[in-house]
Structure 1
Amino acid sequence: MSNEHLIEQRIAQQELFKGRFLHAFRDTVRLPDGGEATREYVVHPGAVVVVPLLEGTDGQTRIVLERQYRYPVGQVMVELPAGKLDAGEDPLVCGQRELLEETGYQAREWARAGHMHLAIAYSTEVIHIWFARGLRQGERRLDQGEFLDVFSATPDELMAWCRDGQVTDAKTLSCMVWVQNVLSGAWPLNWQTPDPISPP
């Protein structure tokens, strides 16, 4: 199936803002019918979200989560551990680093689930989804100025919070589709045992 009748072509670009990791542009584009329009968007370096599966003492799987105040929305949000990619960083290494820094956990096994585009109308951000299991807990290494709580919940508890609107974070909501299908066996993962990263 051809997509040519849908594609827009950039004909001019204006930089609007350049921050520490966000870069905003306003482009003029040629529409498929020959007309012109503007498109404003943010260039983002990408990120990784981790679904850490914790085996409880009762044998029940739990998911490691965080509670963190998110300034743009003015709320404390329940979400999965995640963080942005450093320049040239491998997504697996980013996931290992973020999990350790934010939660103190290191994982024996990792599996890539896929990726998602977070806000396709105005951002280039791609979030890579990784599952982690065989967790062992150590010391957190939060970034300066980073404050968050770490806790765990069963998949059923987290699903209920998603249903009831207590969890509204898009990456966490999207990952629950993967959680349901991975835990049911419908979507098998290719688990690997990478070298652990050295604590910073």
Structure 2
Amino acid sequence: MTNPSDPRLEKSDPKLDEATVSSEIVFSGHFLKVRRDVARMPDGKTTTREHILHPGAVMIVPMLDDGRLVLERQFRYPLGRVFLEFPAGKIDPGEAMQVCGERELLEETGYRAREWVRLGAINNAIGYSDEVIEIWLARGLEAGSNQLDEHEFLEVIAVSLDELLGWIRSGEVTDVKTIVGAYWAEQFLAGKWPAD
């Protein structure tokens, strides 16, 4: 276990911190915004920082009673191919993280869960986005009908954790949130990590 008072884990350090001098939104879309800031560096000079503003998201690691994990096959436009990933979705304004997870799990897979365990949170693109993704394990699944959005197409599958980890090791599964979720779930289920 790490020492929370370890200075290497401090979130602020005058030798490294940058301060916002000015800020402007240079693009505002339906889902994302792009901001361009002028930032003052630790040496007093300024530089430009551009980044994406993201509302935040929840990813769910859904586990069936037989231990298999529920995943989705979905085409992802920026990379032009089908990816295998855990169900996930962005947070609606004012929505609690677990409520978002419950909603997204039902909408995308049709499942409801009796047990929810927060595994942790990740910042998946720290160089260019403020996105935070909370990762939740959902167990005690009850099947139902999914409620996909109008322009959402996906296939729901179930695989063993070992099969998923093999696909991660071979490079077949490359979605970062899914990789992190699989390893966190593995550690939690083995009793090596407590729930967050």
TM class by shorter-chain length?
over 0.9
Aligned counterparts of 2:68 and 2:149: Cα–Cα separation in 1? 25
Residue in 2 that maps onto 1:46: 56
Q: CA deviation at 1:117?
A: 0.4
SS for the counterpart of 2:15 is: helix
Q: CA deviation at 1:177?
A: 2.0
SS for the counterpart of 1:88 is: coil
Correspondence 1:32 to 2:38 = no
Q: CA deviation at 1:128?
A: 0.7
The equivalences for 1:1-200 within 5 A come to 1=7, 3-56=13-66, 61-189=67-195
Q: Which consecutive residues of structure 2, in runs of 5 or more, have no partner in the other structure?
A: 1-6
Residue in 2 that maps onto 1:197: none
Q: CA deviation at 1:169?
A: 0.4
TM-score by length of 2: 0.92
Q: Look up the equivalent residue of 2:72 and give its one-letter code.
A: E
Between the aligned residues of both structures, percent identity stands at: 52
> Runs ≥4 in structure 1, deviation > 2 angstroms?
none
SS for the counterpart of 1:6 is: coil
Aligned counterparts of 1:65 and 1:93: Cα–Cα separation in 2? 19
SS for the counterpart of 1:4 is: coil
SS for the counterpart of 1:51 is: strand
CA contact (8 A) 2:119 2:185 kept: no
Aligned counterparts of 1:68 and 1:53: Cα–Cα separation in 2? 19
Q: Which has the higher strand share?
A: 1
Aligned counterparts of 1:180 and 1:26: Cα–Cα separation in 2? 39
1:16-43 residue CA offsets vs partner (Å, 9 max, x unmatched):
1001121101111110011111110011
SS for the counterpart of 1:72 is: helix
Q: CA deviation at 1:14?
A: 2.3
SS for the counterpart of 1:96 is: helix
SS for the counterpart of 2:79 is: coil
CA contact (8 A) 2:53 2:129 kept: yes
Aligned counterparts of 1:159 and 1:177: Cα–Cα separation in 2? 8
